[in-house]
Amino acid sequence: MVSALLQFNVAVRGGNFQAEVARQRYVSSYGLAQIYAALGDKQHAMKWLQSAYDERAVWMEYLKVDPVLDSLRSQRRFQDLAKWASSIPEAALAEFD
């Protein structure tokens, strides 16, 4: 995953960290959701969590315990995604690795 310091620095400078980071390496949808959540941008964080859900990303199994996403927990869509993530067996997630 991309360094949080790099992401923070780009965001603070007002740059588009997605574009900046994409030039360097791949960042998962779940990782982008974490970045936006850490920056306080709930709308974009939820957009990228939805994308991670659509991809059936293995990282979704951490949804309920990831402290970076604490600011999103009160949102209905987050609760729906967390319910989905806790209801699927590990074998189903493994097939999407």
Q: pLDDT tens, position by position, for the chain (97 residues)? A: 455 555 556 665 665 666 566 567 778 899 889 988 988 899 999 999 999 999 988 888 888 899 999 999 999 999 999 988 877 655 454 554 4
pLDDT at 18: 61
The DSSP secondary structure of 40-83, one letter per residue, reads T-HHHHHHHHHHHHHTT-GGGGGTTT-GGGGGGTTSHHHHHHHH
pLDDT of residue 89: 57
pTM above 0.75, yes or no: no
Structural domain range at position 65: 4-94
**pLDDT at residue 86, as a whole number:** 73
Q: How far apart are CA 92 and CA 97, in angstroms?
A: 10
Burial class (CB in 10 A: 0-12, 13-18, 19+), 7: buried
The pair of three-digit structure tokens given for residue 24, joined into one six-digit string = 């360097």
